[in-house]
Structure 1
Amino acid sequence: MSDPTEVKQKYESLCHDNSCQPHSYIVHQMDIGICETPSGGYLLNLAGNNHLLRGGPNAPRIEDGDMSFLCATLKESPCIHEVDLRYNNLTDQSAPLIADLLKDSGSLQALNLMSNYFTKDAAKQIAESLHDNTTLKLLKMNGNKIGNEGGMSFAGMLQINAGLEILDLNDCDLGMESVLALATVLRQNKFISSLDVGRPLLFSVQDETTVHMGLMLRVNTVLRELHLTKCNMGDFGAERLADGLYDNSTLKYIDLSSNRITRDGTRFLGRLLEKNQTLEVLDLGQNRLECDGAILLAKSLRKNFSLRSLSIVRNEIRGRGLCEIAECLEVNRTLEKLYIWGNDLSEQKACKALKSLIDRLRLDKDNIDIMYYEADGKVFLSEQSHGVRTYYNYSPLHGPESRINQLSLLNNDYSSPVSIAAAF
């Protein structure tokens, strides 16, 4: 079937032939939820958190029993290149069907299985199905508790697979062994351009995983996006990571948020920014930079002309550090996006400096997560819902941002608020 209008007909026909009731949400989305992608194929959005489209929060999500006919339909629908199944009630029982789909489909390029109920057994089956698959470019397993064994299955798959480009294993309860295995595999893998191993379960403060990631970055020439959020990274790990990036000319986006980096670790990252002119997005949110760390960053940004987006939210930065960041933007004309909410924004000097950036259009109001207002002759700052990964966990159904629901899962403009890193 090359016509997307035939997908619904095929699905309903399969259900009726087997005396089964078609799932109302699947039928609804096959009717109106199929969107054309830039590749010329179509995206089928079956996300389970679309309460309004499903008929309310208590309406049934897609279950294991619904997957047989759905997968059978997708096998015969070469026009469907991308499928979004996040936030449904899929368990390991659906894994064999998904694995068969990945083995048999020659057109599926992106599959989002975020936040279902898959475990290590499902991870093993899905990973094995990708050994000979060269079509799938994106796989999101984040939020599924596949554990260390599941992570090892995907690491083994990456030694064989010759097509997957984007792999998201965030919040999957990975262990140290699987993170180290992934870092080791990426020394030779020539296809993965984006990897997320955020929030692994590490029971060490020795930064072993970060050290291996740094060694990998010395030799990897393909990776463009790396997420190491909540990896218990300290200053030593930040130093080792920076050392690895001195010789790296391909990585453009690195996420180090929610770690233990202080001003000492920022010193090494600052030196990196002075020499590395490739990195475009740096997320240091929820660390412990404080004013001294912000000042070191500001000094380095005066010599950096590649960074386009910087997040330093919730870092205990006070007025002096915020003023230095604002002043450095008079010299640095490359930085386009700045996220600073959650720091101490009470000092008037800092408020006025940030207000000046907005008034002079140095930063567009959509590229900063604050907005100012004035009362009693003073400037105050309020929060805007902007950030590096604003729509990572959900996508809005209404308003101008709802356009991300019509975007390809493979959209990889990581500096955009509707990127794969931000939107899906």
Structure 2
Amino acid sequence: MRSEIITTLHFVNNQIGDVGAQRLGNALRYNTTLIELGLTSNHIGDVGAQYLAVGLRVNTTLTILDLTDNQIGTIGAEHLANALQSNTILTTRGLTKKQIRKIKAQHVANALQHNATLTTLNLCDNRIGDVGAQHLAGGLQANIKLTTLHLANNQIGDVGAQRLGNALRHNKTLTTLYLDHNKIKNVGAEHLGIALQHNKTLTKLDLYNNMIGYVGAQHLGEGLQNNATLATLELAQNLIGRIGAQYLANALQNNKALIELGLASNHIGDVGAQYLANALQHNTTLTTLDLSSNQIGNVGAQHLANALQYNTVIVIFSLSIP
């Protein structure tokens, strides 16, 4: 660690454990060259996380720390979160698959309010729930640097989505938000749709595999009507049906910002495909439309083919033949 040349170290799956983490934490207190440290799958627990946190409090050069797939629990997460309040350099922090609970999300949210440089936060697969999402939403309102937030597979429902939506109305830095594989329904989608009407920075919203339904699609469509920044919207596996497709098609006729729209596996059918095809005759911004696995037959395919005479969008779909 005294080398003046090494700036990146990755110890993936090396069984470093808490003892090794202690030595690395001590080294971080004095090292002035290391920029990136990867510690994925190393059996690091709460004790090891505490040692690393001690080093992070005084380290002024490390910008990326990856702790994916370890055994860090509530206590360890709290130590790391507290370290972020003192460390103003660290910009990326991997905390995936840590089984983070609500209390741990609160610690991370507190860190967000004090850390002025963190740009990417990955909390996927942590079951933080609505309460955890609420804490993070509070952190988002105070944080001025975070640009990417991963919250996939966290059992977040309408209440959590509402809190995040409210935060997005005022947040001016977040550009990418992953909420895929959660439990968001139409009420949560409504608040996210309202957020889209006010937010000027978000460029990607991923809601893959939620349960927004056609009513949720309506709310998001209304948000898109007045949004000029969102470029990618992923809504695959959301049960929006042909009615939801119609609402989104209406939005596409006015929206000039959306570039990619994912609608795979939504039971859209031929009628829904026709609605979208009509919209494509007026929209010249969209470049990719994913309609795969939507029970689209020859009739729907013909409507889409006709629309492509006026539009260069790439339409992805699988033909359903009875």
TM-score (norm 2): 0.83
2:79 matches 1:97? yes
Counterpart of 1:299 in structure 2 is 278
Which runs of structure 2 are paired with 1:22-421 in the superposition (5 Å)?
22=20, 42-48=35-41, 61-75=43-57, 77-201=59-183, 207-333=186-312, 335-336=313-314, 338-340=315-317, 343-344=318-319
Aligned mates of 1:161, 1:4 — CA distance in 2: 33
2:164 maps to amino acid: L
Gaps of 5+ in 1: 9-14, 31-40, 49-59, 348-424
Structure-2 separation of matches of 1:175 and 1:216: 16
**Contact conserved, 2:238 with 2:266, CA < 8 A, in 1?**
yes
**8 Å CA contact 2:183, 2:211 repeated in 1:** no
Cα distance between partner residues in 2 of 1:46 and 1:317:
46
1:92-139 deviations in Å (ceiling 9; x for gaps): 131122113311222111212122221111111111112121100111
Length-normalised TM-score, structure 1: 0.65
1:5 is aligned to: 6
What is the alpha-carbon distance in structure 1 between the residues aligned to residue 145 and residue 208 of structure 2?
25
Q: Secondary structure at the match of 2:236?
A: coil
Q: In structure 1, what is the equivalent of residue 31 of structure 2?
A: none
User: Are the counterparts in 2 of residues 4 and 79 from structure 1 also a CA contact under 8 Å?
Assistant: no
What is the rounded CA distance, in whole Å, between the counterparts of 1:5 and 1:216 in structure 2?
Answer: 44
The secondary structure found in structure 2 opposite 1:275 is coil
- 8 Å Cα contact 1:138/1:165 also seen in 2: yes
Q: CA deviation at 1:229?
A: 2.7
Higher percent of residues as helix = 2
Partners of 1:4 and 1:64 in 2: CA distance:
31
Identity %: 28
Letter in 1 for 2:85: K
- Asked if structure 1 preserves the Cα contact closer than 8 Å seen for 2:46 and 2:77, the reply is no
Amino acid paired to 2:6: T
CA change 1:7–1:344 in 2 (3 A) is: closer
Deviation of residue 72 (structure 1)?
4.0
Q: 1:262 to 1:71 in 2, by over 3 A?
A: same
Q: How many residues matched?
A: 306
**Kept in 2: contact 1:42–1:79 (CA 8 A):** yes
Q: Distance in 1 between matches of 2:3 and 2:156?
A: 39
Aligned with 2:70: secondary structure? coil
Post-superposition offset of 1:161: 1.9
Distance 1:63 1:326 in 2: 56
In the alignment, is the contact (CA less than 8 A) between 2:8 and 2:36 conserved in 1?
no
Given that residues 157 and 188 in structure 2 are in contact (C-alpha distance below 8 angstroms), is that contact kept between their aligned partners in structure 1?
no
What is the root-mean-square deviation of aligned Cα atoms in Å? 3.0
Distance in structure 2 (CA, Å) of the matches to 1:254 and 1:192: 15
Deviations 1:30-78 (A, max 9, x none): 9xxxxxxxxxx94434333xxxxxxxxxxx5443343234344445554
Moved more, 271-280 or 174-183: 174-183
Offset from partner CA, 1:338-366 (integer Å, 9 cap, x none): 443xx44669xxxxxxxxxxxxxxxxxxx
SS of corresponding position for 1:167: strand
Shift of 1:319: 3.6
Partner secondary structure for residue 253 of structure 2? helix
Read off the aligned partner of 2:82 and give its amino acid letter: D
Aligned residue identity for 1:225: K
Cα distance change, pair 310–46 in 1 and its aligned pair in 2 (3 A)? farther
Q: Is the 8 A contact 1:162 1:191 kept in 2?
A: yes
Change (3 A) 1:300 1:102: same
Once residues 97 and 69 of structure 1 are traced to their aligned partners in structure 2, the CA distance between those partners, rounded to angstroms, is 9
| Deviation (angstroms), 1:318 | 2.5
